[in-house]
Chains A and B, each alone.
Chain A
Amino acid sequence: MIADRPITHKIGLICLLLLGGLIIALFMAVAWGATGGSLRAIWETLQNGPGAGGAQQTILWRIRLPRALLAAELGATLSLGGLVFQALLRNALAEPYILGISGGAAVGAILGIMLGLARYPGVAGLAFAGSLTIMGLVLYLASGRQLLRKDSLLLAGVMVNAFCSAVILFLISLSQDFRLHQIMFWLMGDLSLADMGQVGRLALILAPCFFALFLLSHAMNLLTMGTETAQALGLRVKTIMVLLLMVTSLMISASVAHCGLVGFVGLVMPHVLRLVLGPDHRVLVPACLFGGGAYLVLCDLTARVISRQGEMPVGVVTAMIGAPVFIYLLRRTRN
């Protein structure tokens, strides 16, 4: 049988376009930064490859490039996370943090920072453990028959998230002055310490997750029609939902552990892409992967160059761009 021309063509075309956008964004992020250098000098530095010495070389290849790549990974993960949760909760305004994944990861990471652990593997590991614990708790609270109801996951998530916020505030009130700053920066999202090892380790976790989500993309289409319909169309709904939750919480908590909390990306990107490209998840999964990646690379670039005296956390930029865009979209769709 011949595959359907329109849909496969659409997927291919959009992948190509957004991948191009991502590459341009990455190039801009490597070329621009807080410290100067003409485009020509940067081009020469890039052509010389990462091997050569010198401050400019170090900045381009060992500071800006890993940072841009980490931003791309984070952006892709958060956008996809938002996409999945919107399908799971059948609510186009859901975002990946809503089920307490962020709360759990934050509690774990802050504990790690307070114990004075290294960012990797100490803080990262604890964040991961925290988010998986919370995910398990949410699943347990919403288990059985309840899982299939539209709002039970949402309610369980909101409750657990509120509890986590209380724990975070409690931990912050216990923490010492100089650690407090670190925690605050982490809570606002921070990519400044990216290195290639980190980028690689994260990619090893994320790549299989991305692939799995693409394979599950049509299942997400069916889920948006409601669990009964999805089941009647031949989907093993409970299995698929648990699978989606596991994959998403794995990739979100891994990213959160490395980069801190960056809000609004998971809310805004899937929404914008859905408005432009339509609701088919077979298109949206690759679109979120490349488009979300490019978006966060540009946000992080903004965060780096906008402040003269030192940088601003990327979470501040995403929130400042994201919130107004989101309100605009919301009003537009309402009308």
Chain B
Amino acid sequence: MRRAFDIQEVAYGYRNRTILRDLSFGIKRGAFFTIIGPNGAGKTTLLRLLAGIDKPASGTIEILGKSVGDYRRKTLARRMALVPQLSQVDFPFTVREVVQMGRTPHLGLLGLPSAQDRHIVAQAMRFTGIDHLPERHLSQLSGGECQRVFLARAICQAPDIILLDEPTAALDLAHQIRIMDLMEQLRKERRMTVVMVSHDINLAALYADTMLLLQEGQTVAIGPPAEILTNTSIKAAYGCDVVIDVNPLGEDIPRVTPIPGKYLSAKKPLTNP
């Protein structure tokens, strides 16, 4: 079976700044793959390369067995959807209009939807639990609702792969779990490959079957959460000490807790004595 992604010796940067170097890994179809790492490690950049938005400086990226450069944009959009980081939309589109945009790769130049397309849109809205807000404007929604609108739009693309950039950032606990559960359901029921950038190691560890730990554009570790979330790898990537134990929810789910006090320093008081 072809893999969802095949990344070979990929590097990326501009001017003198290298952002990613010598990355090689694969993502199996149907995987729940999360990319973690400290700020500035190159997580979002890597996701942009996977989405085909930017081109690598060297190396190759294959999606479903075909080089990303060989896809027509529209064909690619039928295979793969992207849920970008939450950002403000200044135009008063309604929820239904935004979700309907997800059908674009399957439609003509003017994007006029058929009855079937509208059915798919309604289904995606029901699935993500936003079917009670079709005429609301994006600006009137909460962060969690907004994120589900973008998720519904991605689902309408009917993709094999769905990429998400920190989908749970700035959401409350319930909304975090709701988004993650939706992704897991898509993976199970529709065999979608989920690739997600995440800040929240513990939340990612609850769902991911494979994790990639990045630091300064390089792979620190890749594998199942239980294997890669170790004191050494976390220290190497984040530079801080943590306690790692087993999550009460499951044997193979590690739990990472940072130890407070590292930056509590008597040498650099806020006020002069």
Chain A interfacial positions (CB closer than 8 Å to B) = 1-4, 7-8, 90-92, 145, 215, 217-219, 221-222, 224-226, 228-229, 231-236, 274, 278-280, 282
| Residues 124-144 of B contacting A (Cβ, < 8 Å) | none
Contact flag A232-B91 (CB < 8 Å), given A1-B116, A221-B111: no
Q: Which residues of B contact A236 (CB under 8 A)?
A: 73
Q: Which residues of A contact B118 (CB under 8 A)?
A: 4
> Is B25 engaged at the interface, CB distance under 8 Å to the other chain?
no
**Can you give 27 A-B contacts (C-beta < 8 A)?**
A4-B112, A4-B118, A7-B113, A90-B90, A92-B91, A217-B110, A218-B104, A218-B111, A219-B109, A221-B93, A221-B97, A221-B101, A222-B104, A224-B90, A225-B101, A226-B84, A228-B51, A229-B84, A232-B77, A233-B104, A234-B75, A234-B77, A234-B78, A234-B104, A234-B105, A278-B93, A280-B97
Does B112 lie within 8 Å of A231, measured CB to CB?
no
In the complex, which residue of chain A has the Cβ closest to the Cβ of B54? Answer: A145
Say which size band chain B's interface belongs to.
Answer: 35 or more
State in angstroms the CA–CA spacing of A4 and B96 once bound together: 14
Contact flag A145-B14 (CB < 8 Å), given A2-B114, A233-B105, A274-B92: yes
- Least CB distance, B110 to chain A, in whole angstroms: 5
Q: Which residues of B contact A280 (CB under 8 A)?
A: 93, 97
Most chain A CB neighbours (cut-off 10 Å) among B75, B78, B90, B117: B90
Contact flag A279-B77 (CB < 8 Å), given A222-B101, A225-B98, A233-B104: no
Q: Which residues of B contact A8 (CB under 8 A)?
A: 112
> Is B31 engaged at the interface, CB distance under 8 Å to the other chain?
no
Q: Which residues of B contact A91 (CB under 8 A)?
A: 90
Partner among A2, A90, A145 whose Cβ is within 8 Å of the Cβ of B115: A2
Across the A-B interface, give the 5 residue pairs with the lowest CB-CB distance, nearest first.
Answer: A234-B77, A232-B82, A1-B114, A234-B105, A234-B74
- Least CB distance, B93 to chain A, in whole angstroms: 5
Q: Which residues of B contact A278 (CB under 8 A)?
A: 92-94, 97
In the complex, which residue of chain B has the Cβ closest to the Cβ of A239? Answer: B73
- Least CB distance, B253 to chain A, in whole angstroms: 31
- Least CB distance, B192 to chain A, in whole angstroms: 15
Q: Which residues of B contact A229 (CB under 8 A)?
A: 82, 84
- Least CB distance, A285 to chain B, in whole angstroms: 10
> Is B16 engaged at the interface, CB distance under 8 Å to the other chain?
no
Does B91 lie within 8 Å of A226, measured CB to CB?
no
Contact flag A233-B157 (CB < 8 Å), given A4-B118, A224-B93, A280-B97: yes
Q: Which residues of B contact A225 (CB under 8 A)?
A: 89, 98, 101
> Is B48 engaged at the interface, CB distance under 8 Å to the other chain?
yes
- Least CB distance, B167 to chain A, in whole angstroms: 14
Does A228 lie within 8 Å of B98, measured CB to CB?
no
State in angstroms the CA–CA spacing of A76 and B95 once bound together: 30
State in angstroms the CA–CA spacing of A221 and B14 once bound together: 31
Q: Which residues of A contact B51 (CB under 8 A)?
A: 228, 231-232
- Least CB distance, B161 to chain A, in whole angstroms: 11
State in angstroms the CA–CA spacing of A30 and B51 once bound together: 56
Q: Which residues of B contact A274 (CB under 8 A)?
A: 91-92
Question: A234-B76, A280-B97 are known contacts; what are 19 more A-B pairs with Cβ within 8 Å?
Answer: A1-B115, A4-B113, A4-B118, A7-B112, A90-B91, A145-B14, A217-B110, A221-B97, A224-B91, A228-B51, A228-B84, A233-B102, A234-B74, A234-B77, A234-B104, A235-B73, A278-B92, A279-B91, A282-B111
